[in-house]
């Protein structure tokens, strides 16, 4: 591709509403443009990357035996009513009516459609196992779209659906997809992790998420330092502390703590560690009452765990401030277990504390040297908190380490949920009617692009892994429009690369070198060759890898071996 004939429209300044790096760089490099909240066009440069992601997915899905098809994004309400999801889904499901006033929706996912296809097409176990997949545009009317294509309303997803005659078959199909996902993510050249996504309570490894690692990731994932354990942090059990609780020391006493309403304020005000403080959160109960959740000061409440507790409202709601005052008689910021009248749950770690600081249930007062059993009722403890770095791993092997990730893939077993509700069945070997066991496997295609940038960039711009780069090589001739020698050498090299199948961008624009370099760095081309009169005279060219610190001069003889290394798919067929 010649840059003069390509739509390279880069921006120097960051659009003000782009918050995260990937969104900024995608806008600045001219990959995407926004039309409305969460709605984007993919410009030619961005589309090149998107197509690479799709192609890798397609090849590995095909290799794994899945069959590609394409389902509609406009879906009739009847199917969703059959599965029951027409009523279950909230406003995230974009509903509309056509000219005949028939209800429909724009598909956020395709279990209903694929099950409908299956029940029409398949009627014998002999046709199984079967795995249909598609790469298609989805729509989810997100409450708050943000971060560019990371969380957009319209997005492209690869979704696959497996069908098997029994549970073992489903497990096998799932395992095949697990392997296919590993192959896919390996090929992207991104750092990623597969983690358990199910709650330990349900058991089994029936659900896994694939995360691209990035400091800016929205999810926290935990790993065992020595074992294989890896899971989304929200699902990880926090083990109770081992060993005996320390014996009570000094007697309980009240202290004035005006204005200290947070653990940080309390800890610094009283000069004690947050670990010695107790945090008491008040949430709504499912019967209109209030429930206290008690944690160690430095710990965070885990919403999922709290919602599972008997009596706690689900979804979890923090109680209204006025209601707390009305029931407890004091404001938040000074609540504690001593004399607390409402139902309470205490986290294991909080229950293991002694001589701690907690709210006195009186405004602007706290209690010191409080002890369970002695000063208030002995706590029955439960698991309430998020694990933190250094906690013991639930598999008993080492400690937990925490990394941040971006969820880009999810595989799980659906069982017979849709086949039963939608009365899809096949005949088994005995001629009996059986609802097939399904699995469901998603990859956020558009999100992968953003995640790749989030993980690989510097202050100059994007640093694409080779597998995703829109161009593999940039040729930057200096004085292309002035020096006949440079022009000839650049054109020669360009033609040679194209003949060899190198995905090459020749910057033949009449620009100053600095501008060319900045553009190529910004759009993240992995390799760069500079040709100039100076180098030509010495039979040399200059080479620099995108993440190399410095460029190096090389003799022309090295060109052939360099080009050989850059050969990839011949997708650049337009001059």
Partner RNA sequence: CGGGGUGUAGCGCAGCCUGGUAGCGCAACUGCUUUGGGAGCAGUGGGUCGGGAGUUCGAAUCUCUCCACCCCGACCA
**List of residues contacting RNA (CB under 7 A):** 10-17, 19, 28, 36-38, 92, 140, 142-147, 151-152, 155, 157, 209, 218-219, 303, 315, 407-410, 442-444, 446-447, 460, 478-479, 481-482, 510-515, 517-519, 521-522, 530, 532, 534-535, 542, 544, 551
Token code pair at residue 130: 């079967």
Minimum CB distance to RNA smaller for 16 or for 70: 16
The half-sphere exposure of 197 on its side-chain side, counting CA atoms within 13 A, is 16
Q: Name the minimum Å distance from CB 154 to RNA.
A: 9
- β-pair type (278-284, 290-296): antiparallel
Minimum CB distance to RNA smaller for 373 or for 555: 555
Q: Name the minimum Å distance from CB 513 to RNA.
A: 3
- CA 108, CA 75: separation in Å to the nearest integer? 10
Residues 6+ apart with CB under 8 A from 553: 535, 538, 540, 541, 542, 543
Q: Name the minimum Å distance from CB 342 to RNA.
A: 22
- CA 136, CA 410: separation in Å to the nearest integer? 16
Minimum CB distance to RNA smaller for 140 or for 457: 140
Minimum CB distance to RNA smaller for 274 or for 513: 513
Minimum CB distance to RNA smaller for 123 or for 216: 216
User: Phi first, then psi: what are they for 520, rounded to 5°?
Assistant: -65, -35
Minimum CB distance to RNA smaller for 128 or for 197: 197
The half-sphere exposure of 259 on its side-chain side, counting CA atoms within 13 A, is 2
The pairs formed by 200-203 with CB atoms below 8 angstroms and a separation of 24 or more are 200/235, 200/236, 200/237, 200/394, 201/308
Cis peptide before 129 (omega within 30 of 0): yes
Q: Name the minimum Å distance from CB 35 to RNA.
A: 9
Q: Name the minimum Å distance from CB 295 to RNA.
A: 16
Minimum CB distance to RNA smaller for 378 or for 553: 553
Q: Using CA atoms in the order 141, 409, 15, 42, what is the torsion angle rounded to 10 degrees? A: -80
Q: Which residue has the tokens 């995608």?
A: 26
Q: Name the minimum Å distance from CB 177 to RNA.
A: 13
CA 205 to chain centre: 19
Q: Name the minimum Å distance from CB 336 to RNA.
A: 24
């Amino acid at each position: 591709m010649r840059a003069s004939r390509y739509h390279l429209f880069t921006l120097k300044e960051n659009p003000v509403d782009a918050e995260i790096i990937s969104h900024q760089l995608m806008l600045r490099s001219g990959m995407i443009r926004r039309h409305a909240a969460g709605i984007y066009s993919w410009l030619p440069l961005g589309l090149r990357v998107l197509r690479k992601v799709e192609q890798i997915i397609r090849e590995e899905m095909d290799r794994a035996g899945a069959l590609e098809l394409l389902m509609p994004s406009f879906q009739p309400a009847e199917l969703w009513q059959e599965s029951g999801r027409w009523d279950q889904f909230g406003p995230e499901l974009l509903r509309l009516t056509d000219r005949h006033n028939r209800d429909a929706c724009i598909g956020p996912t395709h279990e209903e459609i694929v099950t409908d296809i299956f029940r029409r097409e398949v009627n014998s176990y002999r046709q199984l196992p079967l795995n249909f997949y598609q790469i298609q545009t989805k729509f989810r009317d997100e409450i708050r779209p943000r971060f560019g294509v990371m969380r957009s309303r319209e997005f492209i997803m690869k979704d696959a659906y497996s069908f098997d005659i029994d549970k073992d078959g489903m497990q096998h199909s799932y395992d095949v997809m697990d392997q296919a996902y590993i192959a896919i993510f390996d090929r992207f050249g991104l750092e990623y992790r597969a983690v358990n996504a199910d709650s330990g309570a349900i058991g089994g490894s029936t659900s896994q998420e694939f995360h691209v690692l990035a400091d800016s990731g929205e999810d926290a994932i935990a790993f065992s330092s020595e074992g294989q354990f890896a899971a989304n942090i929200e699902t990880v059990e926090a083990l109770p502390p081992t060993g005996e609780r320390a014996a009570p020391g000094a007697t309980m006493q009240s202290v004035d703590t005006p204005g200290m309403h947070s653990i940080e304020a309390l800890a610094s005000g009283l000069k004690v560690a947050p670990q010695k403080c107790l945090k008491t959160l008040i949430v709504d109960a499912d019967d209109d009452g209030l429930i206290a959740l008690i944690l160690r000061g430095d710990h965070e409440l885990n919403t999922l765990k709290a919602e599972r507790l008997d009596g706690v409202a689900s979804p979890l709601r923090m109680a209204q401030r006025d209601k707390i005052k009305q029931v407890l008689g004091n404001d938040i910021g000074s609540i504690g277990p001593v004399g607390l009248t409402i139902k309470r749950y205490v986290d294991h770690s909080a229950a293991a504390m002694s001589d701690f600081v907690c709210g006195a249930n009186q405004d602007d007062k706290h209690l010191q040297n409080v002890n369970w059993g002695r000063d208030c009722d002995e706590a029955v403890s439960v698991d309430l908190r998020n694990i933190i770095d250094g906690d013991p791993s639930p598999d008993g092997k080492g400690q937990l380490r925490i990394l941040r990730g971006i969820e880009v893939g999810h595989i799980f077993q659906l069982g017979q949920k849709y086949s039963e509700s939608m009365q899809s069945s096949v005949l088994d070997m005995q001629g009996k009617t059986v609802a097939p066991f399904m699995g469901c496997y998603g990859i956020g295609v558009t999100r992968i692009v953003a995640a790749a940038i989030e993980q690989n960039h510097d202050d100059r711009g994007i640093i694409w892994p080779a597998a995703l780069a829109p161009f593999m090589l940039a040729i930057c001739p200096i004085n292309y429009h002035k020096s006949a020698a440079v022009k000839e050498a650049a054109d020669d090299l360009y033609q040679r690369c194209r003949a060899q199948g190198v995905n090459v961008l020749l910057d033949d624009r009449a620009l100053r070198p600095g501008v060319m370099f900045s553009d190529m760095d910004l759009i993240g081309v992995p390799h760069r060759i500079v040709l100039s009169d100076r180098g030509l005279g010495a039979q040399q060219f200059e080479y620099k890898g995108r993440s190399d610190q410095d460029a190096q001069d090389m003799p022309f003889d090295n060109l052939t071996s360099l080009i050989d290394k850059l050969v990839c798919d011949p997708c650049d067929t337009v001059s």
